[in-house]
Amino acid sequence: MPATFNDLVALMARLRSPAGCPWDREQTYATLAPMLLEEAYEAFEAVEEARGGRPAELRAELGDLLFQIVFYAQVAAERGEFTIDEVIDAIHSKMVRRHPHVFGDASAADSAEVLKNWEAIKAEEKRAAGKEQTKDESLLDGVSTKAPALMEAHQLTTKAARVGFDWQSVADIFGKLHEEIEELRAAIHASAESGTPPQAATQTRVREELGDVLFAVTNIARHLQIEPEAALKLTNRKFRRRFRHIEQGLKERGRTPDEATIAEMEELWQEAKWSDRQ
């Protein structure tokens, strides 16, 4: 008989018990934090596997992520703070409350209206909890500064777009991207002309202009409804695959990458690129 969610909760309690596992008993909020982040990233990467017709990896990674949630809840219960049942009740209540077009009398014609209502309900919840926005607070405060930079940029511009601060079209953003690229090119040229060492230049204007280029690219991704972090991950995986092809091809010739010419490596790279298209 397959294990249930309650079986997992009971297993976690057993692991944390005096007769359980020494390692599991030693864990705290702080020690679990890196593992939570790692499991979230691994689940994120497994989404691409599932999209490629290989869902088993995503199933496994979602299990690992769920285990982390149950782990945190068990630690919290032992501290007398909250239980896993309270975690479930809180998110269930929130989702019912934030979907009045499904569970209430409200209506929402499209996703944009759903998101607008979501933000309004969220603001009302904050007011009810005595957390009304002060003059020092911002609409962007809810975006974590600890998130990966591409993800943070995507979330920042999504928030701003919901109140109308946005480009009208992708074409407009491409114009901005070209402008930012030219500013980056000018900053690099100015740095070279002044004789500033590259190490110092990357800490000043060049770094800032490069950030502006990346920010513009993130805006393009958002308008195309593509998660930039996922897009870059996909490209990273493609690079890994193609570079491995180079290494394998050179190995068959009795050579290593540091012995090969750029022409040899480019030839093998094009082979891998051609293979990807088949």
Q: pLDDT tens-digit profile of 216-230? A: 999 999 999 998 988
pLDDT, position 45: 85
Its pTM stands at 0.68
Exposure of 144 by Cβ count < 10 A (0-12 exposed, 13-18 middle, 19+ buried)? exposed
**Boundaries of every domain in the chain:** 5-97, 138-226, 229-277
pLDDT, position 211: 95
Task: Determine phi and psi for 226, rounding to 5 degrees.
Answer: -120, 130
Residues 6+ apart with CB under 8 A from 260: 250
Token pair of 257 as six digits: 């990458």
pLDDT, position 202: 62
pLDDT, position 138: 86
pLDDT digits (tens, 9 = 90+) for 64-115: 999 999 999 999 999 999 999 999 999 999 999 999 999 999 999 999 899 8
**Fold agreement (5-97, 138-226):** yes
Which of 196 and 278 is assigned the larger pLDDT? 278
CATH number for region 5-97: 1.10.287.1080
pLDDT, position 133: 60
pLDDT, position 195: 66
pLDDT, position 62: 97
Residues 6+ apart with CB under 8 A from 79: none
Task: Determine phi and psi for 179, rounding to 5 degrees.
Answer: -60, -45
% of residues, the chain, pLDDT over 70: 95
Q: Is 53 left (phi over 0), alpha (psi -120 to 50) or beta?
A: left
Look at the domain 138-226 and name its fold.
Helix Hairpins (1.10.287)
Instruction: Report the pLDDT averaged over residues 262-269.
Output: 95
